[in-house]
Amino acid sequence: MRMTYTSDVWWKNAVVYCLDVETFKDGNGDGVGDFRGLTQQIDYLAGLGVTCLWLMPFFPTPNKDDGYDITDFYSIDPRLGTLGDFVEFMRTAHDRGLRVIADLVVNHTSDQHPWFKEARSSRDSPRRDWYVWSDKPEPDNPEQIVFPDKESSVWEYDEGSGQYYLHSFYRHQPDLNVGNPEVRDEITRILGFWMELGLSGFRVDAVPFLIENVNPRLANPHEFLADLRAFMTRRKGGSILLGEVNVPYKDLIAYFGDGLGDQITMCFDFIGMQNAWLSLARNDATPLANALRERPKPPKDCQWAMFLRNHDELTLDKLTEEEREEVFRAFGPKKEMQIFGRGLRRRLPTMLGGDLRRIKMAYSLMFSLPGTPVIFYGEEIGMGENLEEEGRMAVRIPMQWSEDGGFSQAPPVRDIPEGSFAPDRVNVADQKRDTGSLLRWFQLLIERYRECPELAWGEYTVLETGHPAVLAHRCDADGATVVVAHNLCDTAQDVELRLDGLERFQLTDLLVDGTLEVSDQGVVRLPMDPHGCRWLRASRPEIPPEDASVKSL
């Protein structure tokens, strides 16, 4: 593929790294991560190979919901630094070739936001209609309640004004009314402000809630997303919207903009993620293979975002109750490991019992699945969780830089886990010196992923392997092909793959030394180690493998 073309649509094969400034690195010794500390670690992130940083909320906040309850969309939380610190961070990130996106949390505000204070001051307030009010709330649907451990309704009575306000999440987070043109205009100002400071886009929080919970109902809720995308394209052509859209495939394609692709640029593949965990629990690739076969093709210049873990609970809400219980039994059998009855509050390495071979295979699988990989900070070194923290905060722990923690010289903002995943066992400094470490494996995977644009750009086909534990797929683009296989079980397997059109081609292993030959009948025999993974580039014998993906001009 032509590098000039892939760089124009950079998000198609980016490597996105999500981090929380508060828990990444403390730069002033007060125990709280900040932009000065983050800036000092830019070279680490660039050396890892990531191409885009996704920042969790860094705005002023009462911090009742880890920063997702915002009181000012145009500033920096004082604990994390100043706008000057932010600009220095952006300049340094751009100098190292890193793009930056940030959370766009405009479904709601904090109830301490000046907008809401003004709105609740009187029914005649100019900002009254910036939120969703009702004299008599609609009956609650239990499925609408996102946090059943904390809330029993999505409506809260406001004694001062005698009406109920809508809150799709916590009661201290009143929903904004995007049905109001003034609200929509303000949201575009927020986007424009941060884009002027260098952001390349936004991860949009809870997209379905953003466009559906409005009063009165928008005639076409998706027009708002199209308007946001159009505004961003006018301001900065290469900007993106990364959408948190956890709905079935048949409903999700509309969030891309159907065939036009003029709304959300990238959508997280929640269905693929949940079926990946079901496959890992069963040591059977069938659920994930079926999901990949059923997944619709996104519009041109849109993309799927692939992940196995993120900053929230590991939601399993799209699995059946029986399937969800299977995953619970395999990876979170204790009640304190589960949350909301639908998810797990653990990180991947602890769920896989610290088995490095299996952990490496799981991340190889994630990087090779068709789409753009998204990493949660600390995954690259195999950090665990702290179940002593409340709810989803269990996985949002301080980054472990050295054997004594290295996050701060003061007591950290959150406790660091003890035991086999404590900093003296899991940290950046040690893994930098260990060629067999998970950190070095991540660097290799990222390097190979970036060398294989077919994985992100190509047409993919799930291959028959003859063994339920082995998932194999091929990605074809511009006459170039990459074949990938993963063994989800703990016994060695030999599989045969039919590779039509690749008769007498050579397959070069990209993760270890070695080559395989495709027979005259287009069949290759592929030995797979227990929890093994193979990335193979197809090339004619006379063409060097490194040139096989380059389109002739």
Tokens of 64: 């009742």
* Cα 46 to chain centroid, rounded: 18
Nearest alpha-carbon partner for 330 in 346, 309, 352, 354 = 352
Question: Could you give the CA distance from residue 105 to residue 112 in angstroms, rounded to a whole number?
Answer: 15
Our answer to whether residue 205 is catalytic in this structure is yes
Query: Which one of the listed residues 26, 66, 205, 476 is annotated catalytic?
Result: 205
Residue 335 carries which DSSP code?
G
Our answer to whether residue 43 is catalytic in this structure is no
Name residues whose C-beta falls within 8 Å of residue 238's C-beta, 6 or more positions apart in sequence: 8, 10, 200
Nearest alpha-carbon partner for 256 in 196, 304, 317, 205 = 304
> Cis peptide before 216, with omega less than 30 degrees from 0?
yes
Question: Could you give the CA distance from residue 489 to residue 462 in angstroms, rounded to a whole number?
Answer: 18
Q: How many CA atoms lie within 13 A of 121 on its CB side?
A: 11
Nearest alpha-carbon partner for 536 in 510, 514, 513 = 510
Nearest alpha-carbon partner for 101 in 150, 153, 54 = 54
Tokens of 389: 């923290």
| Cα 367 to Cα 37, 306, 324, 526, distances in angstroms | 28, 8, 24, 20
Query: Which one of the listed residues 22, 244, 269, 379 is annotated catalytic?
Result: 244
State the catalytic residues.
Answer: 205, 244
